[in-house]
Structure 1
């Protein structure tokens, strides 16, 4: 008879000190996102955040100087997370209006996955203005790069640099107000964006931006 060897589960690799620190930092940030999303900035206490993150309050201050400090980090963190989600979700080969449609769908998919983002964004203007300004700076610069590449490919014609900057704010405003009207339910939840909304958006950018 052939002796069967007993399969033993592989030992899980221990995290390095740097990995543990990064994991703790991210757990605190994610806990802050949930607390602010549910209770708002005004009622988001350090004790609520650390309780949800499963860390001591002393540990919190190893990573953040104050409650305001984590508020100032929160929106830029989630904004970058959103941009990474959109970048991953949009197929590389798409161009023009097709790419803009995919970006819109990916944006609303992110909102569905992270409903706290909506409240974090809009209350930040009052409670974390530096974070709010940084978030929009990153969004605008990212969009500027995308539209400039579309210009280089010949997909967009007839707009100078200043006009394209105005277009960026128009597109960002469209996302925000479409989310307010069609997706966000006012109670912290979201739903799929209706197809007629996507169709209207695509017609707008096709005829007004990417049209000849």
Structure 2
């Protein structure tokens, strides 16, 4: 699999102001594509939401496809960084899963358009769509292997386990955050997380 870094079509800004402008564009694109979809969303709309001139957009991106690709990579980096930071001092893997799942769901609550963006990316740029999930799985496998070495969990088919856990996280986020309602409170979120951790910890066997 080609590395995520190699998939980026954007040169890293050389100044702090350039970094801030790029982040504004990506945040604006998240809302524009999230609300309207990729095909209905426009560069004009992104520039307006970012508070920049349309010409400034073209200093960073050539087209909508480029900004969608970079947005998917940006989301990947952001979530992986948040997850890593949230469990950096947690030695017990089951507790790390609990914290990681809650961190992920909290992020989705703040970024409800993420699912639509990722779903549309598979048709606009299948390579970056696949790389998004493959990179998560690779990182997950490394974390599980470390937990095995530390005797925090048992050994097994770590690649398969990583995809199974990612699948649970994905669909729990879709069911309770994306398809949820205003009544879904922090207490409700904790209850959902606890139920998933119960399944991870004890399985289905009586």
- In the alignment, the residues of structure 2 paired with residue 128 and residue 119 of structure 1 have an alpha-carbon distance, to the nearest angstrom, of 14
- In the alignment, the residues of structure 2 paired with residue 183 and residue 60 of structure 1 have an alpha-carbon distance, to the nearest angstrom, of 31
Aligned match for 1:202, one of 194, 197, 200: 197
Structure 1's 106 and 36: CA in aligned 2 closer, same or farther, altered over 3 A? same
Specify the alignment match of 1:136 in structure 2: 133
Runs of at least 5 residues in structure 1 that lack an aligned partner in the other structure:
1-15
Higher alpha-carbon Rg: 1
Specify the alignment match of 1:176 in structure 2: 170
CA contact (8 A) 2:112 2:177 kept: no
- In the alignment, the residues of structure 2 paired with residue 83 and residue 53 of structure 1 have an alpha-carbon distance, to the nearest angstrom, of 24
Aligned match for 2:87, one of 90, 102, 127: 90
Aligned match for 1:115, one of 112, 115, 136: 112
Superimposed CA distance per residue, residues 146-168 of structure 1 (whole angstroms, 9 cap, x where no aligned partner): 11110110122241xxx210111
Runs of at least 5 residues in structure 2 that lack an aligned partner in the other structure:
1-12
CA contact (8 A) 2:102 2:189 kept: no
Structure 1's 191 and 57: CA in aligned 2 closer, same or farther, altered over 3 A? farther
TM-score when scaled to structure 2?
A: 0.83
Tell me how large the CA RMSD over aligned residues is.
2.1
TM-score when scaled to structure 1?
A: 0.81
